[in-house]
Amino acid sequence: MTSSLSSSAKKIVSLLEKYPADKVKHYASFKFSQIERFCNIGSLPIPKKVLEEQAIEQKKQQKMVKIDVKKLKRMIFAQEDATPDFKKELFDTDILTQQFKSLKSIADNKWADVYKVDKKLLEPKGNPNYYSRLMKDINNGGQKRESIFEAFRTVITGKY
């Protein structure tokens, strides 16, 4: 029983590893938190590659945000649970297969393919550069400033 549990958890973890990492830093990462969770459920070690990736991201975060939130939290709340409770006892192979199926269809872009959206929304008539400019900024990590002329254009025309 436990071996089948850990094998299905392993399948989920290897699927989650293929998920794209967040391009912009947020307060939590879906990919890493779920990998941690399913590793815990299947009593697997967290893959080395993931740990390395996480360490790099954390370093980036420290560069951007000067305040160490975790350190502050530790100072204010004396006892903080090191590992969250993942309710391991609730899971069985059936549930894990269901979770895998859902994560798989998300990874496969299933619903984006079924409900395809045209150019009409992706290159909107009123603001045709909106999404391309947004993606450009995101791919630059949101750190690059635009030139003064572009800023003026945005303010005057109101178009992003």
Name the token pair of 9: 């958890």
Task: Rank residues 115 and 149 by Cβ distance to other proteins and give the closer one.
Answer: 115
The span from the CA of 1 to the CA of 145, in Å, is 55
At closest approach, how far in Å is the CB of 57 from other proteins?
14
CB 44 within 8 A of CB 2: no
Q: Looking at beta carbons only, is 3 or 157 nearer to other proteins?
A: 157
Nearer to other proteins, 6 or 36 (CB): 36
Q: Least separation, in Å, of the C-beta of 66 and other proteins?
A: 19
Q: How far apart are CA 9 and CA 87, in angstroms?
A: 14
**Interface contacts to other proteins, rule CB under 8 A:** 19-20, 22-24, 26-31, 33-34, 36-37, 84, 86-87, 90-91, 94-95, 98-99, 102-103, 105-112, 114-118, 120-122, 124-127, 130-132, 134-135, 138, 158-159
Give whichever of 28 and 67 is closer to other proteins, judged by the CB atom.
28
- Rounded to whole angstroms, how far apart are CA atoms 19 and 108? 10
Of 102 and 140, which CB lies nearer to other proteins in the complex structure?
A: 102
Q: H-type helices in 42-147, by residue range?
A: 48-64, 69-76, 93-107, 110-114, 119-122, 130-139
Q: Would you say 86 and 37 are in contact if contact means Cβ atoms under 8 Å apart? A: yes
At closest approach, how far in Å is the CB of 45 from other proteins? 18
Q: How near is the Cβ of 128 to other proteins at its closest, in Å?
A: 10
Question: Nearest-CA neighbor of 103 among 27, 49, 37, 25?
Answer: 37
